[in-house]
Amino acid sequence: MTHNDVDVLTWTLKGAAGEPLENDQQLLNRRIAYDGGALLFQDYGVISVEPEQPGDKDVVLSCAVHGDETAPIEIVRDIIHAILRGEIKPVQRTLFLIANPAAISIGKRFVDMNMNRLFSGAHANGDTPEHHRAANLEHYVSSFYANAPVGERRRFHYDLHTAIRDSQYEKFAVYPFTHGAPYKKEQFTFLAECGVETLLLNQAPTTTFSYYSARTHGADAFTVELGKVRPFGENDRSKFAAAERMFTALICERELCLPTFDPVRTKVYDVYRTINRTVENFTLHFPDDVANFTAFAKGELLATDGDTEYRVSQDGERIIFPNAKVALGQRALLTVVELPVEGLQLV
């Protein structure tokens, strides 16, 4: 097997399913050199890049925490293939993660459990393959950061997703709870260059992958929503070109040349309410095709959870991530309100 023969996604899916390719052992745990470094195929869907003279960044790019979100999978796959073909040459340590191969194989969001509710130790509360995979992913991220060269370094994690439904803002990112730390202008600008000009600020700890890296490892970490869920082959890759270009630049340039921070470029929303499904009789009172960030008028009924009604309590309150079919106890809906960027604590 030559490095040009490697189909990273096929290798990942077959191996994770216990059906490794005939020449699979030539790749698993193997280092493949590129001009300036090497890729290590540590596990199925776990590929790290170790430059010979690494820069000061340690970058995690993850996809497929939800298996039907295909555009991020295509982006990660194609960046890895470009390295193997010698088309790009990373100078920053990078860990690529194809998180949930089993869910990709069946074209579903997940097999047993929503993996993005299983990080920061939540995987210890169950025994499904997704619980075990989340624990392993945490281990790989921890090892990656721990094995970085000695010295002052900068940690990043971009967990790439696409949303179940359309959005008033096609691309947006979730900024994990900072526990009082200021927000970073550089990250606002980087994401805007990716085409992500809307940020949602989380105001509480969560069990998402990005929050895990932010809280446990001090990384600049984000859940990045790049568009809408579509099957393989149906993504308009031109819509993701800016993001792919910037993630490639992040790992291939020693220092990114970003424009000056401009607060006008980014809309910022704050989580106003979290509505959980606590009983079987949970209903959302708006059509399934209502887009993320749709605004509702004060007093409108959003959801009922058994006998409990949730109504809009202020004009301009918007909905995001509605899903009436989540497991009991999980979030079925967020409402958000816009904040002025100038009022944030920024560095």
Q: Would you list the DSSP string of 181-239?
A: PPB-HHHHHHHHHTT--EEEE--S----HHHHHHHHH--EEEEEEEEE---TT---GGG
The C-alpha atoms of residue 186 and residue 238 are separated, in whole angstroms, by 25
Q: Write out the E strands in the chain.
A: 31-34, 37-43, 46-51, 57-63, 93-98, 154-163, 172-175, 198-201, 220-228, 267-276, 282-284, 294-295, 301-305, 308-311, 318-320, 331-339
**185 backbone dihedrals φ, ψ, rounded to 5°:** -60, -40
User: In Å, how far are 31, 215, 220, 251 from 254, measured between CA atoms?
Assistant: 23, 25, 17, 8
DSSP H or E segment with residue 312? none
Neighbouring C-beta atoms of residue 73, cutoff 10 Å = 26
Cβ within 8 Å of residue 188, ≥6 positions away? 199, 261, 263, 265, 266, 341, 346
Q: Is-contact 136 129, C-beta < 8 A? A: no
For CA atoms 150, 252, 76, 187, the dihedral sign is positive
Burial 136-170 (b: 16+ CB within 10 A, else e): ebbebbeebbeeeeeeeeebbbbbbbbbbbebebb
DSSP state of 5: G
Q: Write out the E strands in 64-117.
A: 93-98
Q: Does 225 participate in catalysis according to the annotation?
A: yes
**Identified catalytic residue from 130, 138, 193, 225:** 225
Active-site annotation, residues: 225
